[in-house]
Structure 1
Amino acid sequence: MQRFKLLAGLALLSVATFAQAAPNCTIRLKGNDQMQFDLKTVTVSASCPAINIELTHAGKLPANAMGHNVVVSRTADVNAIAAAGIQAGLAANYVPKGDARVLGSTPVVGGGASTKGKLTGKLAAGGDYTYFCSFPGHSGIMKGKLVVTP
């Protein structure tokens, strides 16, 4: 009986360890009318076969006045992508079409709406990545660090 309890305890411990070690494959953010994401850092795993992006706009203002999206890129490319996004306009979700520097993005949404996107490329563990909103004027403060673990 004692041996059974010990084995059952070890089995539960290994399941709990596995559950904690499961890789995070989703970037899940909330934006608001104050041009803020709810998280300053998000961690995902480089082992994920795909990384999903989920955005909920918790504000009330419409997309043309205070729209938000999520764009993921290397940190060094943020300013250039944001500038090119302004030129692309709202119809293109403020994301330059076909720009290889954009690793993933979501459409622009207004208050009360949610949207999803995917990362199109593989991320390297330890790489220098940023997520940001490319709506004009937002990328300077509405951004965060994307940490990629092995």
Structure 2
Amino acid sequence: MYLINKLFASVIIVITALSLTAPSALAQDAKVIKMKGTDKLKFSKTEITAKPGQEVTVKLTTVSNLPANAMSHNFVLLTAGADATNVSQTSAKFADNEYIAPEMEDKIIAYTDMAGGGETVEVTFTAPENPGEYTYVCTFPGHYLAGMKGTLTVKE
């Protein structure tokens, strides 16, 4: 009996040690995406990928010499099937809310604050579980319609 108790205690110690030192699979698989937004109203990355359920951090830096009220950018990831034009145009009226319309928040998975020239903003989110294509946009007035958009492809 003594030998069984000793063996059991040893197994518990090893399992505990492994659980404390081994990073989780999701944390190990976290993805960081760095992109820029410029005066040309484009994201430097228009195609990004993630696995279903993967933790993703997007770091967006605005490169501009214009004042923030004239040129700022954000990253807004939309739900599958969301109408990007409607979300962008409706949100353009909400400068005091980072150009995010409260009535559109159910169509948004994640978003950053606005970043003026030289500023970097970031958001961390969990990629959707459903594989597919998800649009991301900048909701500063006129930017989406000028082409400031991209696609997050979620796939295994």
TM-score of the superposed pair, with normalisation by structure 1:
0.74
Percent identical residues:
29
Answer whether contact 1:64 1:90 (CA < 8 A) is retained. no
Q: Classify the secondary structure of the residue corresponding to 2:33.
A: strand
* 2:146 matches 1:102: no
1:40 aligned residue (46, 51, 54) = 46
2:92 aligned partner: 86
Answer whether contact 1:52 1:118 (CA < 8 A) is retained. yes
* 2-structure distance, mates of 1:126, 1:46: 6
Aligned residue identity for 1:143: K
Q: 1:63 to 1:43 in 2, by over 3 A?
A: same
Runs of 4+ in 1 over 4 A off after TM superposition: none
Q: Structure 1: state its 5+ residue gaps.
A: 1-21
Answer whether contact 2:46 2:150 (CA < 8 A) is retained. yes
Q: Structure 2: state its 5+ residue gaps.
A: 1-27
* 2-structure distance, mates of 1:24, 1:79: 30
1:27 aligned partner: 33
Structure 1 residue 118: Cα displacement = 2.7
1:17 aligned partner: none
The equivalences for 1:110-149 within 5 A come to 110-119=116-125, 122-140=127-145, 141-149=147-155
* 2-structure distance, mates of 1:109, 1:74: 22
Answer whether contact 2:49 2:153 (CA < 8 A) is retained. yes
Answer whether contact 1:27 1:44 (CA < 8 A) is retained. no
Structure 1 residue 125: Cα displacement = 4.4
Structure 1 residue 24: Cα displacement = 5.2
TM-score of the superposed pair, with normalisation by structure 2:
0.72
Q: What root-mean-square deviation, in Å, do the aligned CA atoms of Structure 1 and Structure 2 show?
A: 2.0
* 1-structure distance, mates of 2:70, 2:138: 14
Q: 1:134 to 1:112 in 2, by over 3 A?
A: same
